[in-house]
Structures are given as C-alpha cells and as structure tokens.
Amino acid sequence: MAFLSIFRNFVADMDYTLNCNGKLIDLHTPQVMGILNVTPDSFYTESRKQSEQEIISRTRQILQEGGTIIDVGGCSTRPGAACASEVEEMERLRFALAVVRREAPDAVVSVDTFRPDVARMVVEEFGVDIINDVSEGADGKMFRMVSRLGVPYILMSVQPTIREMLLGFAREVDELRSYGQKDIILDPGFGFGKTLEQNYEVMSQIEQLAIMGLPVLVGISRKSMIYKLLGCEPAGALNGTTVLNTVALRKGASILRVHDVREAVECVTIVKSLALSV
C-alpha cells in the first residue's frame, strides 16, 4: 500500500514500556485492563458497580484474576446513552477512586473520560496513571491537558477504515508530540463510528497499525459487533469476545480492555505460549 510510506517517520525502536507515575509496565507481554464502570447505564448490566462494596469487590476481582490495569469510567459512552454532566461524572469518579485507592493503593489505574477537566481532576487528586480518551481529542484541549499532566494517553479513533485511521492517527500523534506527550497508546475504537461490517474489516487489518510504532489497545468486550452478529445479548457474548481477543493478540495488540479478566488473562497465556513455540 503506497500511502503507508508517509508514516515511516513514526516507526521507531519502541521498547513498549509505559511509565505510569514511576510504575513501569512492560508491554512485550500483553496486559489486561479490567473495566470498572461506576455508571447506572453501561451497556453490559453486570459491569455497573456503584456501591462502595461493589467497587471493592470489583477492584479485588480484577487484580486477583490477573488484571494489571483498572479502568474506571464515570460516564457511559454507549450509543444512545444520556451523557452525565461534568459535575456528575466528577462526583462518581471521586467516590469510586477514593475506594479503589484505599483498597489497592499501588494498582495502576486509568480513567475513561473525554473531558479535559475531569482528566486533570483525577490525576491531580487521585494520582490516576493513564487517561483513556474516547473523544479523539478533536479540539486539542485534551491533548494539551494530558501532555501537561505527563501521564500515558490512550488515543481512540472513530474512523471506519484502517487507511483513514492511520491518516488520523498520524496527524494526532504528531500534534501530541508537539506538546511533549511521551507515552501514547492507540485504540482503533471498535463500536465507535463504524458499522458492524466495518468493525470486522478493521479487526482483519489491525496489524497494519504496527507501522505507527506504538502499542495498540483493543476493547471489544461483549460489544454489539459480537452480540448482534451472533444474535444474542451482551450477557451471551463472552465466547465471541474471547475469539476476537485471540485474533487481536495474534495481530499484535498490547492491551486488552475487558469485562472478563480471568478469561482474557488465560487468552494472553495461551497466545504467548503459541508464539514461543513457533
């Protein structure tokens, strides 16, 4: 593909080690990020954890099952969901992060948000290690904020094809680098701005993102691209999730963002063993 030549300046010898407030995460072994939603309306009912005891239990579960990152979300981004106000999102996150930090003070914590001021609050008040952004940083405000905060940043794409995704990522990574951002993780954005067919087309070509020289996060856990294709509900989409997580790992994914941590960790173990035996 001739157009890929314009990205050659992004290719580097990447050691795939994230610096999360001094905690180093080696991404040569894929990591599992466990989802902790403190919202009343996330698309997967079982992921909703709002009481203190539910947050404690979920935090323990993620870590005990082998997850290395806890991803906390205070505002649902599912299609058609009512968007919580910034004040409400902050209140939910303050409550949840206080519990998580008390229960697991050394855990690597990311926060799923598209608001720059929320990102600032969670890093400055709770020492959050990673910002997981679904806004695609279109207006540059989030880019400037995370660069100032100095934490790893997950950059998501809503583009429907790998070609458009690479073009967008190239511009955005260049902008982030101009602000001094160091650690950047790419998220193809499964379920965002894509039809069911386009989600699978992106998955089939996801290894092409390696040309950016940056780690890739895949978040397809129990999403509609699985349950709509299989004719089930999110509760019945674990098997499909595991299949696609396996595909993603074989195509170079460095982080799996999941509801079902134990199953994803097992997936990583098996795929890694396959790679070592080749």
Annotated catalytic residues are 223, 257
Residue 212 in contact with residue 186, Cβ under 8 Å? yes
Residues sharing a CB contact under 8 Å with residue 27, sequence separation 6 or more, in sequence order:
16, 17, 18, 215, 254, 255
Give the span between the Cα atoms of 121 and 74, in whole angstroms.
13
**Residues 98, 126: contact at Cβ < 8 Å?**
yes
> What are the CA-CA distances from residue 71 to residues 13, 83, 94, 235, 266 (Å)?
28, 19, 14, 20, 19
Q: With b meaning 16 or more CB within 10 Å and e meaning fewer, what string describes 155-183?
A: bbbbbbebeebbbbbbebbeebeeeebeb
Q: How far apart are CA 55 and CA 99, in angstroms?
A: 7
Compute the residue count for the chain. Answer: 278
Where would I find the H helices in 12-85?
52-64
Q: Which two tokens stand for residue 56?
A: 């404690």
CA dist 272 and 21 (Å) reads 27
Coil vs helix vs strand at 202: helix
